[in-house]
A and B are shown apart, each in its own frame.
Chain A
Amino acid sequence: MAVPKPNELLKIDHKPPKKWWMDTKPTFRPGTYSYPSKPKNIEILDMWNPREWSPTDEDWKLPEDWKERILEGFRDLLKKYRSLKVFMDICVRCGACADKCHFFIGSGDPKNMPVLRAELMRSVYRGEFTKAGQILGRWAGARELTYDVVKEWFYYFYQCTQCRRCSLFCPYGIDTAEIDLAGRHLLNLVGCNINWMMEPAANCYKVGNHIGIQPHSLKDMIDFFVEDIEDLTGVKIEVPFMKKGAEVLFVTPSGDFFADPGTYTFMGYLMLFHEIGLDYTMSYYAAEGGNFGFFTGTIENAKKLNAKIYAEAKRLGVKWILGGECGHMWRVVHQYMDTLTGPADFLEVPKSPITGTVFENARSTKMVHITEFTADLIKHGAIKLDPSRNAGIKATFHDSCNPSRGMGLFEEPRYVLKNVVPEFYDMPEDTIREKTFCCGSGSGLNNDEFMEMRMRGGLPRANAVKYVRDRYGVNTLSCVCAIDRAVLQPLVNYWVPGITVTGVHELVGNALVMKGEKKRTVNLRQEPIPGMEEEEGDV
């Protein structure tokens, strides 16, 4: 699908239209919506109303009792989630959130203002569940749940990446992700979901990773990495899988196995673990840290995928779990895992076997973030790093939404980065850390058919990258998220050409001085390292 040229896309009008929002309907224009789930994925996850349909159809083949199903589900969620219930009642529409949403900034569509996205649901809440709304209707900001409302929900609830930037600025902490997750769950009840979310979830449930790579093929891929690392470094490493009694279970998003540039990050982890002699294992059964089930808003799906990690940790008899670079995986691990699938009382409080550091902050969940782990190694001088192997790299760091606003992981990755690259520059203050901008493709929206909206949503992030590129000559955008690694490259190619996207541990892998290694002349991407080119006579 051709995305309009940047100068075309930049004709953004932030002024709302004359017609009031209750009187407008979305246009399902290519590039602005995601394709519906294939029936088989809905069946695998044991969800509702599997069928072939298209959002551009007049008839969405909803079940006969669609309205009752949604309202029943809505009532149920209001009992189950205080967040949703309070957020339905207390918004004062001050508009502080309006220009915080990357999709609003990039599209100008008023229904992408978080307040209005929430009003799409709130209006139905008032119209169907409150007396005042039933009597006064529009005068109370209320409306009925109609077929058109379902279509509007589908359009806008799958145009939110659940990044929670709005919730940071809201005076009451109203969290659009909570509302969006609820909205998606209600849509699920009548079978309105998107394939890019459901297929990875179904694959992960059934096979063990998002792409659905079968275990023996995955093994081949890992062997391939081992060969690559040996070619580059001269060091032969082993990658233990399904090893009972290992000390640590390592879980990372499967994007790291199969998609560049995540693969280089994966090689970085493997080299690090080998170098420090970590007694670890990975698993083909629980090969996925990411959790597209979470994005569906149907929390059972998140649990179906997440529970495999603890189950496997128990079966393998490890002591604790280490998690790779991933955004939403860490929201789930940090804020949901223990509650949803714990208690992990069969594990021990994580303790670095190298430095002896006890990770008190992971005392209950027993899962440590790789940058916490590596930062601790560096602080203790447990690994030798040579930043000149990243010569020529001027790096900046993209704070992924979930580890930022759902965890508070800011210093750890920066500390690691500053120790492995020669030059590091942060993007402007209002675009990083807790105020970070979304990549524009999170929460299951990283599909090709949604490309125009992705470029629009990613504009604020890309523009901040442009700032440091123009000012400091930054040429590398690093991140700790597999979705970021996959989507930021097309984003910067579109808005700020000349930027390379990397994971943090790719840069660690480059800088890591390994015992018995040969002289490195190329980096993990097989690109020559400036100043370390093979000289004549070198073999």
Chain B
Amino acid sequence: MRVVMPLFLVVGLALTAWVGWAIHLQGLFGVLVPYLAALIFVVGFCVKVVDWAKSAVPFKIPTTAGQQKSLPWIKHAKIESPFTTGQVILRMFFEVFFFRSLFRNVKGELRSGPSLIYGPTKWLWLSAIMFHYGFLMVILHHLRLATYPVPGPIALLDKIDAMFQIGAPPIYLSSLLLLIGVVALFLRRVLIPQVRYISLVNDYFPLFLIFGIVVSGMLMRYFVRTDIVAVKALVMGLVTFHPVVPEGIGAIFYIHLFLVCCLFAYFPFSKLMHMGGVFMSPTRNLPNNNRAVRHVNPWNPKVKLHTYEEWVEDYRDKLEEAGIPTD
């Protein structure tokens, strides 16, 4: 049920857009919903991040993944156990752009003997990299619909991405990456028993939603021809705040757009906020210079200490008898 329900939900969303298109609600689905979704995304994202930021960081608790900086002749692991802000930035860079921690992944297996065997496992890392980089490139591609003239780098990306001349129009490498990534992430979620056990509706829903977006997008590009000029007019209208609803755009576009809107609106309330959260994780974004540079806790608790004087009173006779000084 946890798998099927979100699937129905995404199908339902697609149908909603199709019905909207059929009964000529293009203004609603082409203009109002996108504006609303963008608003929810931006405001929701900011509210969430500000909300996190309002909570204190009482202690400096980096997870150290390498040798600390100590004696000058001991080699310090600058990235894995950063001491300076610059080193922290490097650590975060590898974390955010190359998924350093996932790359570290090892798989344990208990065999008879008993012996526990460990070995590197990169499937999750690879799926995640394909998914995220595919997604990033696809988003960058879409900028050509929202800019005029199209900036050089975007146009260049287009050329690189389409270098595999398979079919006409050429298949984008990025959309394939994204598709494979999303399918791989889904498959491991249902096929690995432990991962299936921990998975919630909140995990399947965004996967189906993104799958729907990718499929509708690819359909539009390769199978159901869509009037790209009209689409660009609509998107340009949105981004210049002079919305227009051109005639003749097919249902598939509205389905695609609506699913994208749903993803954006859902984003701030979901686990997708890991995009912002990864930057705020205290185990990664703090330096391991604890003993050298003091960290201040804004709410440092005051406690009643059992003082030396009180302690001496507790044991005065015994201390004196044993010749232990009590001054």
Q: Which residues of A contact B (CB under 8 A)?
A: 10, 12, 14-16, 20-21, 46, 78-87, 89-96, 98-100, 105, 110, 113, 115-116, 119, 130, 132, 139-141, 164, 167-175, 178, 205-206, 208, 214-216, 219, 241-242, 284-285, 299-300, 303-304, 307-308, 311-312, 315, 333-336, 338-340, 342-343, 357, 359-365, 367, 372, 375-376, 379, 404-412, 415, 428, 430-431, 434-435, 459-460, 463-464, 466-467
**For the complex, is B175 an interface residue (Cβ under 8 Å from A)?**
no
In the complex, A430→B63 CA distance in Å?
A: 17
> Which residues of B sit under 8 angstroms from A379, Cβ to Cβ?
71, 73
> Which residues of A sit under 8 angstroms from B225, Cβ to Cβ?
none
CB distance from A6 to the nearest CB of B (A): 8
- B68 touching A409, Cβ below 8 Å: yes
Q: For chain B, residues 243 to 292, give those with C-beta under 8 angstroms from any C-beta of chain A.
A: 269, 271, 273-274, 277-278, 280-284, 288-292
23 contacts between A and B (CB under 8 A): A80-B58, A83-B57, A84-B55, A86-B280, A89-B273, A93-B198, A96-B124, A113-B198, A130-B269, A168-B101, A171-B102, A175-B61, A175-B282, A241-B324, A311-B308, A333-B291, A339-B297, A361-B292, A405-B64, A407-B288, A430-B119, A434-B65, A459-B114
**For the complex, is B240 an interface residue (Cβ under 8 Å from A)?**
no
CB distance from B273 to the nearest CB of A (A): 6
- A10 touching B114, Cβ below 8 Å: yes
> Which residues of A sit under 8 angstroms from B199, Cβ to Cβ?
93
In the complex, A173→B65 CA distance in Å?
A: 11
- A408 touching B77, Cβ below 8 Å: yes
> Which residues of A sit under 8 angstroms from B311, Cβ to Cβ?
208, 285
- A168 touching B63, Cβ below 8 Å: yes
CB distance from A226 to the nearest CB of B (A): 15
Binds A, one of B30-38, B134-142, B200-208, B215-223: B200-208
- A372 touching B70, Cβ below 8 Å: yes
Contact A110-B194, Cβ < 8 Å, known A311-B307, A362-B291, A467-B115? yes
- A411 touching B67, Cβ below 8 Å: yes
Contact A372-B71, Cβ < 8 Å, known A169-B104, A406-B61, A460-B116? yes
- A140 touching B201, Cβ below 8 Å: yes
In the complex, A15→B99 CA distance in Å?
A: 28
Contact A82-B193, Cβ < 8 Å, known A119-B198, A311-B307? no
* B101 (CB) vs chain A CBs: closest residue: A171
Q: How many residues of B sit at the interface, in one of the four size bands?
A: 35 or more
* A216 (CB) vs chain B CBs: closest residue: B322
**For the complex, is B107 an interface residue (Cβ under 8 Å from A)?**
yes
Q: Which of A90, A285, A372, A408 is in CB contact (< 8 Å) with B277?
A: A90
> Which residues of B sit under 8 angstroms from A335, Cβ to Cβ?
59-61, 290
CB distance from B127 to the nearest CB of A (A): 9
> Which residues of A sit under 8 angstroms from B322, Cβ to Cβ?
215-216, 219
**For the complex, is B242 an interface residue (Cβ under 8 Å from A)?**
no
> Which residues of B sit under 8 angstroms from A205, Cβ to Cβ?
306
CB distance from B128 to the nearest CB of A (A): 7
CB distance from A356 to the nearest CB of B (A): 13
In the complex, A430→B5 CA distance in Å?
A: 40
Q: Which of A167, A219, A340, A460 is in CB contact (< 8 Å) with B63?
A: A167
* A303 (CB) vs chain B CBs: closest residue: B303
Q: Which of A81, A303, A364 is in CB contact (< 8 Å) with B292?
A: A364
Q: Which of B119, B195, B274, B294 is in CB contact (< 8 Å) with A342?
A: B294
Main secondary structure of the interface of B (DSSP, over half): loop
> Which residues of B sit under 8 angstroms from A214, Cβ to Cβ?
315, 318
Contact A405-B65, Cβ < 8 Å, known A105-B110, A300-B301, A463-B114? yes
Query: What does the 1/0 interface line of B68-84 toward A look like (CB < 8 Å)?
Result: 11110111010011000
> Which residues of A sit under 8 angstroms from B56, Cβ to Cβ?
79-82
> Which residues of B sit under 8 angstroms from A94, Cβ to Cβ?
102, 124, 128, 195
In the complex, A473→B235 CA distance in Å?
A: 71
Q: Which residues of B contact A (CB under 8 A)?
A: 5, 48, 51-61, 63-71, 73-75, 77, 80-81, 95, 99, 101-102, 104-108, 110, 114-116, 118-119, 124, 128, 192-203, 269, 271, 273-274, 277-278, 280-284, 288-297, 299-301, 303-308, 311, 314-315, 318-319, 321-322, 324-325
CB distance from A399 to the nearest CB of B (A): 11
In the complex, A170→B231 CA distance in Å?
A: 41
Q: Which of B48, B71, B277, B297 is in CB contact (< 8 Å) with A375?
A: B71
- A459 touching B295, Cβ below 8 Å: no
Q: Which 7 A-B pairs have the closest CB atoms?
A: A408-B68, A90-B277, A173-B283, A408-B64, A216-B322, A141-B200, A430-B118
5 other contacts beyond A81-B57, A86-B280, with CB at 8 A cut-off?
A86-B282, A219-B324, A339-B60, A361-B68, A407-B288
- A105 touching B116, Cβ below 8 Å: yes
> Which residues of A sit under 8 angstroms from B110, Cβ to Cβ?
10, 12, 14, 105
> Which residues of A sit under 8 angstroms from B102, Cβ to Cβ?
94, 96, 169, 171
> Which residues of B sit under 8 angstroms from A168, Cβ to Cβ?
63, 65, 101, 104
CB distance from B159 to the nearest CB of A (A): 32
CB distance from A450 to the nearest CB of B (A): 21
In the complex, A80→B51 CA distance in Å?
A: 12
> Which residues of A sit under 8 angstroms from B325, Cβ to Cβ?
242
Contact A173-B284, Cβ < 8 Å, known A99-B108, A311-B305, A367-B291? yes
- A89 touching B48, Cβ below 8 Å: yes
Contact A82-B57, Cβ < 8 Å, known A89-B48, A115-B198, A408-B66? yes
In the complex, A91→B277 CA distance in Å?
A: 9
CB distance from A200 to the nearest CB of B (A): 15
